[in-house]
Amino acid sequence: MFKGHPKGLYALALANTGERFGYYTMLAVFALFLRANFGLDAGVAGAIYSTFLGLVYFMPLFGGIMADKFGFGRMVTIGITIMFVGYLLLSFPLGGDTVAMIAMLGALLFISVGTGLFKGNLQVMVGNLYDDPQYADKRDSGFSIFYMAINIGALFAPTAAVKIKEWAETSLGYSGNDAYHFSFAVACASLIASIAIYYIFRSTFRHVEGGKGKKGDAAQVVDNLTPAETKARMTALFLVFAVVIFFWMAFHQNGLTLTYFADEFTEKSSEGLQSMAFNVWNLVLVIVAVYAGFSFAQSEKNDIKTKAISGSIVVAVIAVLIYKYLHVEGSVAVSAPIFQQFNPFYVVALTPVSMAIFGALAKRGKEPSAPRKIAYGMLVAAAGFAVMAFGSIGLLTPDAQAAAGDSGALVSANWLISTYLVLTFAELLLSPMGISFVSKVAPPKYKGMMMGCWFVATALGNMLVSVGGFLWGGLSLTVVWSVFIALCLLSALFMFVMMKRLESATK
């Protein structure tokens, strides 16, 4: 799984892991913070939340255009510095008045601009590593590993957000609203770690940073495509961009309506085996067992040492988990933000499974193309919201639930846990494959801009996330989830209709 990849992949992946840990720590509690600190209703909080997400993913377009001219590495460094200023400003508890609102919006702008310079350009650099012919056939698996590293950071973020907030309340005596700012401060520390990793291991990827040569001459980009080929590739890319808008609109409900559902309709405590899922270290043990199991299965038959070590790790992890289960006592409190740990957990745990499946299909010459994987991902996303629709049957509307107070019905956490599992399958089919597709198909002289356009599509989807917030209120939950089911199905249909044109662009 990890063999045969350029060393720069791991350095860039780890740098991104630190940045994503801070971002998702902040995002895990951001929607709840808006409502608690400023007294906003669900719709207004959702509009701010989705607009911020939209800016975060829109700004890479400008970051990519600048990087095509000035270099990817330079933009990454400037971007992470600007992000740090934003997170630092967000870390100060300024209350809930107009001044605090302005400061908060300013902080969001800094974070958006900095992310725009950092995120897309880092991914272009990863793609550039695979322009080398000796690594070309590992592009998709390389982006899967890169995407997995992102989610390692995201895995620990919800727990960090919740625990640091609780610590600020209980140990330092801060109010609930002011305690949120300690969660935001975690992002500052994570950015310091990220930039340190970037510069310590810079020698492994410096050749793909772009920019100007030693004599000040702009680096020349080799582009042997004809105008017709360039047009065909750009058309294919924009068709994909149109589809992913609706995927991210649906998927990023995890920070809005799915979090609202966790907060208002999900049981507030968990017992037995289920309670173990809310301890991030138990999830880490499962991940360790999965990777050790793959190491055991994929090692050479005569490599007895590797098999023995891997097998021992699997047995030890299973033993520890069984021991912990046998000693589970009472119940654990379940807070809404903690559910956001399940998506990154599933990404990290299932990435080797996904890579093994597609690797086996590739050996048989039957691996689906990237556009076909994206279409399948939309179908799976529809199935994820179908789980929510089924689990919501018989529940009150959000407005009626609020009026009912403690008498409102609550459902098992397993509905959300299962939904995140299905949505993660969709994400693995769509997101890393989409990024890989862009890095492969984009005309060389427009790589930065096209990766930026991928994020613009993501931005548009994120801005449409607010639709869920405005639906949240007087409508039946089944109707709310059905909106996202329909959008995902229509997007999948569009992909299949355009499949020939999309696949021809990759040849």
pLDDT digits (tens, 9 = 90+) for 423-438: 999 999 888 888 888 8
Contact 481, 392 (CB under 8 A): yes
* Phi, psi torsion values for 119, nearest 5 degrees: -65, -55
Torsion of CA 85, 87, 88, 92, to 10 degrees: 140
Q: Once rounded to an integer, what is the mean pLDDT over residues 457-481?
A: 89
pLDDT for the residue 214: 43
Check pLDDT > 70 for residue 2: no
Q: What are the structure tokens assigned to 308, written together?
A: 């023995």
Q: How far apart are CA 264 and CA 267, in angstroms?
A: 9
Q: What are the structure tokens assigned to 378, written together?
A: 């939309």
Check pLDDT > 50 for residue 218: no
Contact 226, 16 (CB under 8 A): no
Q: Once rounded to an integer, what is the mean pLDDT over residues 267-290?
A: 93
Which letter does DSSP use for residue 476 in this model? -
Banded model confidence at residue 225, pLDDT cuts 50, 70, 90: confident
Q: What are the structure tokens assigned to 10, written together?
A: 């791991």
Burial of 379 (0-12, 13-18, 19+ CB in 10 A): middle
Q: How far apart are CA 397 and CA 170, in angstroms?
A: 34
Q: How far apart are CA 22 and CA 74, in angstroms?
A: 21
pLDDT digits (tens, 9 = 90+) for 61-119: 888 888 888 888 899 999 999 999 999 998 888 888 889 899 999 999 999 999 989 98
How long is the chain? Answer: 507
Q: What are the structure tokens assigned to 348, written together?
A: 């990290």
At 266 the three-state DSSP class reads strand
Banded model confidence at residue 166, pLDDT cuts 50, 70, 90: confident
Q: How far apart are CA 44 and CA 92, in angstroms?
A: 22
pLDDT for the residue 507: 64
Which range in 226-235, 402-411, 413-422 is most confidently predicted, on average pLDDT?
Answer: 413-422
Q: What are the structure tokens assigned to 166, written together?
A: 């609780």
Q: How far apart are CA 351 and CA 139, in angstroms?
A: 15
pLDDT for the residue 151: 83
Banded model confidence at residue 213, pLDDT cuts 50, 70, 90: very low
pLDDT digits (tens, 9 = 90+) for 470-502: 899 899 999 999 999 999 999 999 999 998 888
* Phi, psi torsion values for 413, nearest 5 degrees: -65, -15
Check pLDDT > 80 for residue 217: no
Check pLDDT > 60 for residue 156: yes
Q: How far apart are CA 345 and CA 283, in angstroms?
A: 7
Q: How far apart are CA 125 and CA 435, in angstroms?
A: 12
pLDDT digits (tens, 9 = 90+) for 315-335: 999 999 999 999 998 899 998
Q: What are the structure tokens assigned to 307, written together?
A: 């098999």
DSSP string, 88-154: HHHTS---SSHHHHHHHHHHHHHHHHHHHHHHHHHHHHHHHHTTSTTTGGGHHHHHHHHHHHHHHHH
CA 457 from centre of chain: 15
Contact 58, 116 (CB under 8 A): yes
Which range in 45-59, 178-192, 380-394, 442-456 is most confidently predicted, on average pLDDT?
Answer: 380-394
Which range in 131-140, 147-156, 222-231, 271-280 is most confidently predicted, on average pLDDT?
Answer: 271-280
Banded model confidence at residue 298, pLDDT cuts 50, 70, 90: confident
How far is residue 392 from each of residues 172, 341, 480, measured CA to CA in Å? 39, 22, 10
Check pLDDT > 60 for residue 219: no
Residues 6+ positions from 479 with CB-CB distance below 8 Å: 471
Check pLDDT > 90 for residue 416: yes
Contact 180, 46 (CB under 8 A): no
Q: How far apart are CA 130 and CA 133, in angstroms?
A: 7
Residues 6+ positions from 450 with CB-CB distance below 8 Å: 64, 234, 237, 438, 442, 443
Check pLDDT > 50 for residue 215: no
- The whole-chain average pLDDT of the chain stands at 87
> Over pLDDT 70: what percentage of the chain?
97
Q: How far apart are CA 478 and CA 475, in angstroms?
A: 8
Q: Once rounded to an integer, what is the mean pLDDT over residues 169-190?
A: 84
